[in-house]
Structure 1
Amino acid sequence: MKIRVLTLLFMINMLLVWSSTAMAQPNVEIELNGTNVTSKFSPRVVGNTVFVPVQSLNFNPELKFGFLEGAIPNLIILESNKYTIYLTIGSATMKKNGETIELKSPPFFKDGVTWVPLRAIAEGFDSKVVWDQQSNVVGVITSGEFEK
C-alpha cells in the first residue's frame, strides 16, 4: 500500500512538472533591422503569436499611437505618415487605411498592459517579418518609413 501511494505521488509530481514545463513561454528575441530590441519590446507568446505591449511601440517618434475612449471602447489607433491602423481589444480584425485585415490572434488587455500582435502591426506598416524557429527570433525589417 505504501508503495502504491508513493508511486501515485511520484506520478502526480511528474505530471505537474511536465505540464508546467509544457505551458512555459518560450524565450523570444526580437530583432529590428538586425539589432536586438527584445528589452524594449518585452515580448509574450500566446498560442503561436508573439505579442508586444502597445506602449513599447513608442520607440520611434514618427509612429503615433493612442486609445480612443468613449464611443468605441478598447480601440487602439496607430498612425504614421502613410498608414492608420485601428485595432480593438478582443477583435480578430484590424483596419489599415479602411481595409479590413483578419488577425490570427486579437489584441488583449492583461495586468494593466495592452498587448498587440507583433506580426500584424509590423506588416500593417509594410515591414517584413521573418521567424527563425530554431533560435526563437522574430526579425522585423522596416520598409524605410520608420528607419532613422
Structure 2
Amino acid sequence: MKKKFILGASILALALPTFVTANSNIRIWMKGEVIKSDVAPYIYQERTMVPLRVISENLGKEVIWDGDKRSVNIKDEKGNEFSLLIGGKFMEDISANVDRKIELDAPALIKDDRTFVPLRAIAEAFGERVDWDKDKRVVVIGEGYDTNKIKEEKTRYLQEKKEVLDPLGLDYLYNKDMAGKSDEEKSNYEKRMREMPSKVFKGYKNGEVEGCLAWLSFAKAGQFFESELNKNPYLNPRKDGLGIGVTERGESMSGFDDYEKDEKFKRELLGLNSGPCMAGLEHFDYYLNFDGTFNYFMLPLHYQGTAPEMLKEVKNIVAHPKKIKFIKADKSEIEKLLKTLDTHYD
C-alpha cells in the first residue's frame, strides 16, 4: 500500500566535492535562509546527506513512499515526477509523455529507518541551481545567496549552544550534532560521556548524575506507578536506595538459547530502579535524544511463555517508547538523590 507523507523523518543525499569530510559542519541555504534540520548533515560516499524534508517543506514538492516497492516518488504542481528505488543507480523521469533515466552518483538508501536520496540530482531535475560555498561549507540552492546571513546564523548557533549548557555538567544531553548519527555512534558517545567524572559533583560519574536527573524528570512527568512517588521522588530511594544499571548495545533482548538467533538492543540503555521488592519495584530504561529529552520504556519484571513470545513482547515495548524532557533541577536536588545510590553507574 502506498503511503503519502511529509517526510519529517527521511533523508536525502547531495553530491559535493571530494574534500568534504564526515565530521564537517555543513549547512544548507535555500530561498534566503539557512534551513533548520532535526538531523545534522553527514557524508556518505563523498556525498552530503540531509533530511528529505528539504524537498517537501522547502522545495514544495510532494513525496510519496511505497513501502512494498521500496521506492520514493517526488512530483510538483507542474506535472514533473521522478521515481527512485532504494539501492537503485538511476532516477526515472515518469512525467507525462516522458520516458528517460537519470544516472545517480549515489544510490537511494535506508539508514537508521530513514530514506536517503541524492539532493543535487533531484534539485537540478526540478530546475533548481545548486552551488557549494567551500569557505563557509554551505550548500546553496537557488539564487540570491547572502553570505552575511550565514555569518548571522553561525553567531546565533553559537549563542544558542552557550545558552543550553547544563549547570549540572551534562552538556552532552543537548548535543544536537549527535541526532543524525548511527545507533552505534550514539551508544558509544553515551557510554563515553557517562563514564567521565562529573565536573560538578566530586566523586561521581556523569552517568550517576544523569540517572538522578532522569529519575526526577520521570517523577515530574507523573510516570511512576505510585502517585506518591511522583509527588516525592525521594520516597523509595530514601528507604531502599536508587539503583542504576546499564544495558549495552548488542545485548540480547530475550532468553533464546541460541544467542545468534536472538534480537539485540540497538542503543545503550540506562536503567533506574527503586523499591522494597520485585513486586513493588519502580523502574524504567531509557536512551538519549540529544535535544534535552529521553525516550523510555518499562520492560516486564517477569515473563510468561516461550522465548519467541518473550522476544515479541520486548520488541513491541522497545518499538513504542515514550518521550520525557529533562527538568532543570538544581544542584541540591541532585545531591539529595546521589546520596541514596544503592548501585552505581559502571
Q: Same fold (TM over 0.5)?
A: yes
Instruction: Give the direction of change, closer, same or farther, for the CA distance of 1:55–1:39 in structure 2 (3 Å limit).
Output: closer
Kindly indicate whether the alpha-carbon contact (under 8 Å) linking 1:93 and 1:103 is maintained by their aligned counterparts in 2.
Answer: yes
Stretches of structure 1 that go unaligned for 5 or more consecutive residues are 1-21, 143-148
Q: Which has the higher contact order (CA 8 A, sep 6+)?
A: 1
Kindly indicate whether the alpha-carbon contact (under 8 Å) linking 1:31 and 1:38 is maintained by their aligned counterparts in 2.
Answer: no
- Which segments of structure 1 move beyond 6 Å, counting only runs of 4 or more? none
Aligned residues: 119
Q: How does 1:68-107 map to 2 (within 5 A)?
A: 68-70=66-68, 73-82=69-78, 83-96=80-93, 97=95, 98-107=99-108
Kindly indicate whether the alpha-carbon contact (under 8 Å) linking 2:120 and 2:130 is maintained by their aligned counterparts in 1.
Answer: yes
What secondary structure sits across from 1:91 in the alignment?
coil
Structure-1 residue corresponding to 2:112: 111
Q: For 2:134 and 2:59, locate their aligned partners in 1 and report how far apart those are by CA, in whole Å.
A: 31
Kindly indicate whether the alpha-carbon contact (under 8 Å) linking 1:53 and 1:116 is maintained by their aligned counterparts in 2.
Answer: no
Q: Percent identity?
A: 29
Q: Which moved more, 1:60-69 or 1:102-111?
A: 60-69
Q: For 1:124 and 1:84, locate their aligned partners in 2 and report how far apart those are by CA, in whole Å.
A: 9
Structure-2 residue corresponding to 1:32: 30
- Root-mean-square deviation (CA), in Å? 2.4
Q: TM-score when scaled to structure 1?
A: 0.69
**1:135 offset after TM fit, Å?**
1.7
Please tell me whether Structure 1 or Structure 2 has the larger radius of gyration of its CA atoms.
2
State yes or no: 1:140 paired with 2:161.
no
Q: For 1:139 and 1:56, locate their aligned partners in 2 and report how far apart those are by CA, in whole Å.
A: 12
Q: For 1:115 and 1:90, locate their aligned partners in 2 and report how far apart those are by CA, in whole Å.
A: 10
Q: For 2:24 and 2:125, locate their aligned partners in 1 and report how far apart those are by CA, in whole Å.
A: 25
Counterpart of 1:65 (choices 63, 66, 72) is 63
Q: For 2:45 and 2:67, locate their aligned partners in 1 and report how far apart those are by CA, in whole Å.
A: 29
Structure-2 residue corresponding to 1:50: 48
The structure with the largest strand share of the pair is 1
Q: For 1:53 and 1:39, locate their aligned partners in 2 and report how far apart those are by CA, in whole Å.
A: 7
